[in-house]
Structure 1
Amino acid sequence: MSDYRRITIASAGQHTGEPVEIAGWLYNLRKSGKIIFPIIRDGSGTIQCVGVKAQLPEDVFEALKNLTQESSVIIRGRMRAEARAQGGYEMDIEGAEIVQRVSEEHPYPITPKEHGVEFLFDQRHLHLRSRRQHAILKIRHEIIKAVRDYFDSNGFTLVDCPIFTPAACEGTTTLFEVDYFEDEKVYLTQSGQLYNEATAAAFGKSYCFGPTFRAEKSKTRRHLTEFWMVEPEMAYADLEDVKRVAEELIVFMVGRVLENRKTELATLERDITKLEAIKAPFPRISYDEAVEILKRKGSEIEWGGDFGGTDETLLSEEFDRPVMVDRYPAAVKAFYFQPAPERPEVALGVDVLASEGYGEVIGGGQRVHDYDLLLQRIKDHNLPPEAFQWYLDLRRFGSVPHAGFGMGIERAVSWICGLEHIRETIAFPRMLYRTRP
Structure 2
Amino acid sequence: MTTINKLSNHEDEIVTLKGWIYNSRSSKGLHFLELRDGTGLCQCIVSEEEVSEDVFEAAGTLKQESSLSITGKVIKDERSVGGYELHATDLKVYQVAENYPITPKDHGVEFLMENRHLWLRSQRQWAAMQVRNTIIFSIHQFFQEEGFIQMDAPIFTGNAAEGTTTLFETDYFDEKAYLTQSGQLYAEAMAMAHGKVYTFGPTFRAEKSKTRRHLTEFWMIEPEMAFYDLDMNMELAEKMLKFIIKSVLEKHESELDILERDRSFLKKAASEPFKKISYTEAVEQLKSDSTADMLDQMEKDRESEKKEIKQELEEIKKEHGSAKKWRKAQIDERIKEIHSRIDQIDEDLRNIPVWKESAANFEWGNDFGGSDETILTMQYDTPVMVHRYPAAVKAFYMKRDPEDDKLALALDVLAPEGYGEIIGGSEREDSLDVLLERIEAHDLPKEAFDWYLDLRKYGSVPHSGYGLGLERTVSWICGLTHVRETIPFPRMLGRLRP
Q: What's the TM-score bracket when you normalise by the shorter of the two chains?
A: over 0.9
Give the CA deviation at 1:280: 3.9
Measure the CA separation in 1 of the matches of 2:239 and 2:448.
35
Measure the CA separation in 1 of the matches of 2:447 and 2:260.
53
- Mapping of residues 73-92 of structure 1, within 5 Å: 73-92=68-87
Give the CA deviation at 1:318: 2.4
Over the aligned positions, Cα root-mean-square deviation in angstroms equals: 0.8
Give the CA deviation at 1:342: 1.4
1:212 aligns with one of 203, 209, 212: 203
Give the CA deviation at 1:143: 0.6
| 1:283-325 Cα shifts (integer Å, max 9, x gaps) | 1111111111111135111110000111111111222100111
CA contact (8 A) 1:135 1:264 kept: yes
Q: Which has the higher helix share?
A: 2
Measure the CA separation in 2 of the matches of 1:175 and 1:265.
36
CA contact (8 A) 1:175 1:213 kept: yes
Is 2:355 aligned against 1:294?
no
Measure the CA separation in 2 of the matches of 1:313 and 1:172.
26
1:262 aligns with one of 241, 247, 253: 253
1:69 aligns with one of 47, 64, 70: 64
Measure the CA separation in 2 of the matches of 1:193 and 1:12.
45
Counterpart amino acid of residue 418 in structure 2 = G
- Match of 2:23, SS state, is strand
- Match of 2:203, SS state, is strand
Is 2:182 aligned against 1:191?
yes
Measure the CA separation in 1 of the matches of 2:33 and 2:222.
45
Measure the CA separation in 1 of the matches of 2:76 and 2:115.
36
Corresponding residue for 1:370? 431
1:141 aligns with one of 112, 122, 133: 133
CA contact (8 A) 1:12 1:89 kept: yes
- Match of 2:131, SS state, is helix
Is 2:170 aligned against 1:109?
no
Corresponding residue for 1:317? 378
Greater shift after overlay, 311-320 or 401-410?
311-320
Corresponding residue for 1:352? 413
Corresponding residue for 2:121? 129
Measure the CA separation in 2 of the matches of 1:430 and 1:280.
35
- Mapping of residues 244-259 of structure 1, within 5 Å: 244-259=235-250
Measure the CA separation in 2 of the matches of 1:289 and 1:26.
54
Measure the CA separation in 1 of the matches of 2:280 and 2:50.
74
Measure the CA separation in 1 of the matches of 2:51 and 2:386.
65
2:150 aligns with one of 158, 163, 168: 158
Is 2:226 aligned against 1:235?
yes
Measure the CA separation in 2 of the matches of 1:276 and 1:108.
39
Give the CA deviation at 1:402: 0.4
Is 2:37 aligned against 1:42?
yes
Counterpart amino acid of residue 55 in structure 1 = E
Corresponding residue for 2:341? none
Measure the CA separation in 2 of the matches of 1:379 and 1:241.
30
Give the CA deviation at 1:19: 1.5
Corresponding residue for 1:176? 168
Corresponding residue for 2:482? 421
Measure the CA separation in 1 of the matches of 2:267 and 2:147.
27
Count of residue pairs brought into register by the alignment: 428
What is the TM-score with the length of structure 1 in the denominator?
0.97
Could you tell me which runs of 5 or more consecutive residues in structure 2 were left unpaired when the two chains were aligned.
293-358
When residues 133 and 207 of structure 1 are mapped into structure 2, their CA distance, relative to the original with a 3 A threshold, is: same
- Match of 1:302, SS state, is coil
2:393 aligns with one of 319, 327, 332: 332
1:399 aligns with one of 450, 460, 470: 460
Q: What percent identity do the matched residue pairs reach? A: 57
Measure the CA separation in 2 of the matches of 1:27 and 1:314.
40
| 1:53-72 Cα shifts (integer Å, max 9, x gaps) | 12111111011111111111
CA contact (8 A) 2:377 2:415 kept: yes
CA contact (8 A) 1:247 1:280 kept: no
Give the CA deviation at 1:258: 0.5
CA contact (8 A) 1:251 1:280 kept: no
Runs of 4+ in 1 over 2 A off after TM superposition: none
Could you tell me which runs of 5 or more consecutive residues in structure 1 were left unpaired when the two chains were aligned.
1-5
Measure the CA separation in 2 of the matches of 1:368 and 1:400.
9
Give the CA deviation at 1:346: 0.4
Counterpart amino acid of residue 305 in structure 1 = N
Measure the CA separation in 2 of the matches of 1:48 and 1:307.
49
- Match of 1:178, SS state, is strand
Corresponding residue for 1:93? 88
- Match of 2:255, SS state, is helix
What is the TM-score with the length of structure 2 in the denominator?
0.85
Counterpart amino acid of residue 204 in structure 1 = G
Measure the CA separation in 1 of the matches of 2:477 and 2:460.
38
Measure the CA separation in 1 of the matches of 2:451 and 2:392.
24
